[in-house]
Amino acid sequence: MKNTTITLDGHSLTRGQLVLIARGDASVALDEAQLVRVQRAADFLAEKVRCGEPIYGVTTGFGSNADKLLGAHRARDELPGGNPDAPQGTLLEELQHNLVITHAVCVGEPFGADVVRAMLAIRINTLMRGHSGIRASTLKALAELLNRDVVPVIPQKGSVGASGDLAPLSHLAIVLLGGGEAFHGGERVGGAEALRRAGLEPVRLSFKEGLALNNGTAQMLACGVLALDRLETLVATADLAASMTLDAFAGRTSAFKPEVHALRPHPGQVETAARIRALLDGSTLADIAYHLVPRFKTWLADAWSDAEDQKRHFDIAWDWVPASQRHGREAFYQRFLPFKGGKKHQPQDAYCLRCMPQVHGAVRDAIAQAARVLDVELNAVTDNPLVFPDAENATVIEDQVISAGHFHGMPLALAMSYVKAAIPVLASISERRLNKLVDPATNDGLPAFLIGNEDATDSGFMIVQYTAAALVNDLATRAHPASVYSVPTSANAEDHVSMGANEARHVLEMTEDLAHVLAMELYTAAQALDYRQDMLNAARRLAQRGDWRALAAKIANAPEATHPARAQFEGEVQALAKALVEARDFQAGPAVRAAHATIRERIGFMTRDRAMDGDVKAICDLVASGELVR
């Protein structure tokens, strides 16, 4: 249900507005003042044609046929036979008609309706600038396709990004002529039938209208805008996943302090550090003292003496550090009690945790650069030639109808290649955090593969990391920039092309796999966070009973009752118990807790191996919806 109307004037379309149109949440209206300018350019062309002026793409052929002037009548009428499908009208009209029908040659699966609606809106908006020579009536008909839910079938492959997206835009325009195919009401039908169902009539093209309709960067721009809309949500999702993972590690936050990032103030880096600080705000897991964190120990039937504790699916343990092993570390043991549990005694986390601002931030900067380019392109004129009916001091037609190269997609292509390289970077650091969570050598005291595995029959989250690794590899192999490899076209008249349509299409496709990798991390981090919180709070409740001997039973290396160090050990165990009792409940910050609770509404904690395909689908759907970020 369209609940808003966006007025297109060629000057003020935003990415947010385009996304609304693409999703079918907004209809379009055409600015009346700009329609006057549109018609002014069309009338100007008509007058010049009547005067016999040679104009590229109007009274000449296209591309390598630009040196061929159209005659007064059809030479082929004098040839034997005839073409019963030839359009009625003048050669000038036939030129525009043929341009569209012969260029609609894309292959592959059709673009989604969101991409096609975005292409329609982009094409309408650029034509509204009044420099393309299209008639106001034709432009209104194009807008009606959008507003009456006629979605042209546009196969995904066939554009080289110069002269613009000729082939896909021809698939868009051919429906306006009553050809091709379109979806209407979700049903795929012939173009003429789609028009009939929508109450529309086919259009007969006039001077330069075919060229105005199919000469531009609408496909690459539509894919780019929709990709960035997804990526802006996904980079925020990455921050959330990373924060949940850091809480699950009981990690360190000093690397995110504002004074740190003021020394290297890349905008994305500064923003990411601030976001992570906000997500971790209120956490009692981050920056926890080393000695408070127990390590996982496999559950046994006699692991707990209390009836309530016996319901647990884990045991906990620490190692005591005797005085003889503290030499040279006296300052450390003045701050921390001499117990080794899950946390390693080191002042910094691995890169995948510590360098999140630098990595996520660099991805944010790549997205921001692409957004700057796309924002310019949204309100640019991208066809050729450009019509300047009011040009001052014009002495020849070439001063008012100027052949240029605004159709060339290289600005978009290079911006998209930057983003294309950034996507596997964000996926890769996410997979490294996931891997760190499941590996007992690196997960700081959590169970191997995040499962109890008492009977050695459980794989836990082992294969989740495999899937993430496969996705990261696939993303990396697709990250090669298409824009560096030009293949000349049109008999070398178009001897350098951008391949921007491939670039933007790849980026849009890659966002889905990036979302899946982030979903895998969130799925795994939620399990790890449960283990970390439950183990810490179990230790705290054990200490709250006031029986330091029960806590001491969880500590290895305890000296015998007659050993000289026994008194020191007992005193330090009592100090550990006191520290645990005085600590607040161990939990993630409110933001991470809210996301974790949302995951748990759909996916339960896994105490034993179970079928995980439903879990994986649920977490992927949750990430795709954007609900976790909201």
* Residues assigned a catalytic role: 56, 103, 215, 351, 354, 407, 494
Query: How far apart are the C-alpha atoms of 483 and 505, rounded to whole Å?
Result: 12
Q: What's the N-to-C CA distance of the chain in angstroms? A: 22
- Asked if residues 220 and 414 have their Cβ atoms less than 8 Å apart, the reply is no
Between CA 399 and CA 448 the distance in angstroms is 73
As a whole number of angstroms, the distance between CA 20 and CA 5 comes to 10
State the Cα–Cα distance between residues 143 and 4, nearest whole angstrom.
15
Q: Are 93 and 205 spatial neighbours (Cβ–Cβ below 8 Å)?
A: yes
* Two tokens, residue 88: 């009625």
Pairing, β 4-8 against β 26-30: parallel
CA distance 142 to 236: 36
Report the run of H or E that residue 109 belongs to, with start and end. Answer: strand 107-110
- Please choose, from the candidates 412, 361, 366, the residue with its C-alpha nearest in 3D space to the C-alpha of residue 217: 412
Q: Are 542 and 554 in contact (CB under 8 A)?
A: yes
Nearest CA-CA partner of 13 in 218, 311, 184: 218
Cα–Cα distances in Å, from 500 out to 214, 496, 545?
16, 12, 67
| Residue 167: alpha-carbon gap to chain centroid | 26
- The span from the CA of 363 to the CA of 271, in Å, is 11
Among residues 513, 504, 505, which one has the least CA distance to residue 414?
A: 504
Distance CA 60, CA 62 (A): 7
Rounded CA gap, 289 and 345, in Å? 10
CA dist., res. 251 & res. 238, Å (int): 17
Kindly report the three-state secondary structure assignment for every residue of 7-57.
EECCCCCCHHHHHHHHCCCEEEEECHHHHHHHHHHHHHHHHHHHCCCCCCC
- The burial class, CB within 10 Å (0-12 / 13-18 / 19+), for 469 is middle
Q: What whole-number distance in Å separates Cα of residue 28 and Cα of residue 464?
A: 44
For residue 256, give the nearest of 276, 238, 236 by alpha carbon. 276
* DSSP-based three-state secondary structure for 225: helix
Beta pairing, strands 555-556 & 315-320: parallel
Closest CA to 569 of 586, 544, 543, 551: 551
> Under a CB-based contact definition with an 8 Å cutoff, are residues 419 and 227 in contact?
yes
Residue 428 tokens, joined: 């890769």
Is residue 179 within 8 Å of residue 128, measured between CB atoms?
no
